[in-house]
Amino acid sequence: MNIFSILVALLLEPYRPKRIQARVLGAFDRYAMGLDDLLNSGERHHGIAAWALAVLPVLCVAGTAYVLLGHLGMGLGWILNVLVMLFLLEFRPILDKLSEVQHELRQEPREVAAQRLGFAEAPAVELSQLVAYSIERSVMDIHARLFAVLFWYCLLPGPLGALLYVMARRLSQLWGADGQTDFGHFSQEAYFWLDWIPLRLTAFAFAIVGNFEDSLFCWRTQAVGYRASLRIILASAAGALGIRLADATAPQRVLATLELGVGEYPDLDHLRSAEGMIWRTLVLWLLVISLLTIAAAVGN
């Protein structure tokens, strides 16, 4: 039933109240920061304990609810899956942001669009830099907020996998940014390994729906090493689109280098190309999940 829960959640996403997701995730963030204040002594083992206290209670409650509702029947377990996925998945907001950037860059002065995207030196920013940055953000967001969530949802029973991944990502962001102590070390490691397979599946999907040879070439030559992380999907996406993107993982990000990818510098038309690539990648993921669902049903 995985594919049906996903489809219903994606169809209902445009009608989801805009603030409800932020409130749910914000409540978890406040809980995590409370654990940070309570347990953060700078030691690595305290970070492991805090991570477990943040994640395991939520998984236990969700797992228990899923089992109990499943025993009651009437599709209640499936409804729980849909509700959880509706809270966690993000697809339309990412595409809407990409469309909004296209409109701003076409209708407004470049300096205004640069300021809205957060560039401090707006007058000095080139159009290709703005386009590259927008594509990068969309590629990274669509992976972390959709494709990786789908992977873990399909891997573990009920909503446990999706919840585990989203919580691990947010804990890595909240605790892992503190480089002064070892408290956030485990949260970063946990998220790294949870994202290891989904990251590569997303990159491979970009290659399939785009320029396959260039995408694999960029992946192989520009994102070497098992710790390459987001460079993998950025390089793959750049190759799939036939453009150059900047290195978003550099300590000091200089967009003018545009070192990832091959081909030409991005322009406005490539924003629409990126949007099309995201749509095709989603269709590919849904097709694969559908085939796996059918195979599991036939096997049973």
What residue type is assigned to position 120 of the chain? A
pLDDT confidence bin for 179, thresholds 50/70/90: low
Least Cα distance to 191 among 140, 137, 243, 229 occurs for 229
Cα angle: 130, vertex 131, 133; to 5 degrees: 65
**Taking a C-beta distance cutoff of 8 angstroms, is the pair 47, 186 a contact?**
yes
One-character DSSP codes across 180-209 = TSSTTHHHHHHHHHHHHHHHHHHHHHHHHH
Q: pLDDT by residue (tens digit) across 195-249?
A: 999 999 999 999 999 999 999 999 998 887 767 788 899 999 999 999 988 655 4
Least Cα distance to 242 among 217, 224, 220 occurs for 217
pLDDT of residue 255: 42
Question: 145: which DSSP letter?
Answer: I
Its domain, for residue 18, covers 2-299
Two structure tokens written together for 188: 């970063």
Please state the pTM of the whole predicted model.
0.91
How high does pLDDT run on average in the chain?
87
Q: How far apart are CA 140 and CA 98, in angstroms?
A: 13
Question: 123: which DSSP letter?
Answer: G
Number of domains in the chain: 1
pLDDT confidence bin for 146, thresholds 50/70/90: very high
Give Cα separations from 151 to 65, 91, 161 (angstroms).
21, 15, 8
Q: How far apart are CA 169 and CA 192, in angstroms?
A: 9
Q: What is the 3-state secondary structure (H, E, C) of 263-282?
A: CECCCHHHHHHHHHHHHHHH
β-partners of residue 264 are 243
pLDDT confidence bin for 121, thresholds 50/70/90: low
pLDDT confidence bin for 53, thresholds 50/70/90: very high
